[in-house]
């Protein structure tokens, strides 16, 4: 088929190559970090949602936690409901405490926690490691920092 504006015939393969190149360029704009990512300590109880790195950082009471953004049930991005001080999955309505503890819904376990540490007034979250409460209860329980 003629390619309008380029003066040559474009095959399906040429089209798909161009489309694949466009997809790679678009994905490059949403680059996920590796290693430790730095976050400010939230000034009050609440959540910071980092969609670029799929991380939720929470301050609740005297502790901070880092979670994977996705619900452990079917990987839907969780929502923080500030008025209710809890998380909820918009897909199947699973509910979680600010500490990531499963309350109700279709999920069968707690939210996945990420290793977190306090360093010089900032929080460092290891985005390459995940603790699932049913597979590593001790790691999951330890993935918190006091403030």
- Residue range 90-117, pLDDT digits in tens: 998 999 999 999 999 999 999 999 999 9
CATH number, domain at 46?
2.102.10.10
Q: Count up the domains in the chain and report the number.
A: 2
Q: Report pLDDT for 30.
A: 44
- Considering the domain architecture, whether residues 66 and 79 belong to the same structural domain is answered as yes
Check: CB of residue 139 under 8 Å from CB of residue 132.
Answer: no
- Considering the domain architecture, whether residues 15 and 50 belong to the same structural domain is answered as no
- Considering the domain architecture, whether residues 48 and 79 belong to the same structural domain is answered as yes
In a 13 Å sphere around the CA of 100, the CA atoms on its Cβ side amount to 32
- Considering the domain architecture, whether residues 9 and 62 belong to the same structural domain is answered as no
- Considering the domain architecture, whether residues 41 and 9 belong to the same structural domain is answered as no
Distance CA 37, CA 59 (A): 16
- Considering the domain architecture, whether residues 45 and 21 belong to the same structural domain is answered as no
- Considering the domain architecture, whether residues 3 and 46 belong to the same structural domain is answered as no
Q: Report pLDDT for 10.
A: 53
- Considering the domain architecture, whether residues 40 and 103 belong to the same structural domain is answered as yes
Quote the strand ranges of the chain, DSSP E. Answer: 2-3, 8-9, 36-40, 46-50, 55-60, 63-68, 79-81, 86-88, 95-96, 102-104, 116-119, 122-126, 145-146
Q: Report pLDDT for 143.
A: 98
- Considering the domain architecture, whether residues 43 and 1 belong to the same structural domain is answered as no
List the domain range (segments joined by +) for residue 66.
36-146
Provide the Cα torsion 125, 36, 91, 24; round to 10°: 170
- Considering the domain architecture, whether residues 108 and 61 belong to the same structural domain is answered as yes
- Considering the domain architecture, whether residues 19 and 72 belong to the same structural domain is answered as no
Say whether 15 sits in a helix, a strand or coil: helix
- Residue range 27-80, pLDDT digits in tens: 334 446 789 999 999 999 999 999 999 999 999 999 999 999 999 999 899 999
Distance CA 10, CA 1 (A): 6
Section 82-87 average pLDDT: 94
- Considering the domain architecture, whether residues 111 and 44 belong to the same structural domain is answered as yes
Cβ neighbours for 55, distance < 8 A, ≥ 6 positions apart: 37, 39, 49, 66, 67, 68, 69, 114, 125, 127
């Amino acid at each position: 088929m003629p390619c309008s504006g380029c003066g040559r015939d474009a095959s399906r393969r040429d089209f798909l190559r161009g489309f694949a190149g466009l997809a790679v360029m678009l994905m490059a704009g949403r680059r996920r970090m590796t290693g430790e990512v730095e976050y400010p300590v939230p000034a009050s109880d609440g959540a910071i949602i980092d969609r670029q790195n799929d991380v939720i950082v929470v301050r609740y009471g005297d502790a901070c936690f880092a979670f994977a953004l996705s619900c452990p049930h079917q990987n839907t991005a969780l929502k923080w409901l500030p008025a209710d001080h809890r998380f909820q999955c918009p897909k199947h309505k699973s509910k979680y405490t600010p500490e990531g503890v499963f309350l109700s819904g279709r999920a069968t376990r707690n939210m996945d926690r990420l290793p977190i540490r306090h360093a010089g007034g900032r929080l460092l979250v290891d985005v390459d490691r995940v603790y699932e409460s049913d597979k590593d209860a001790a790691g999951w329980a330890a993935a918190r920092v006091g403030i």
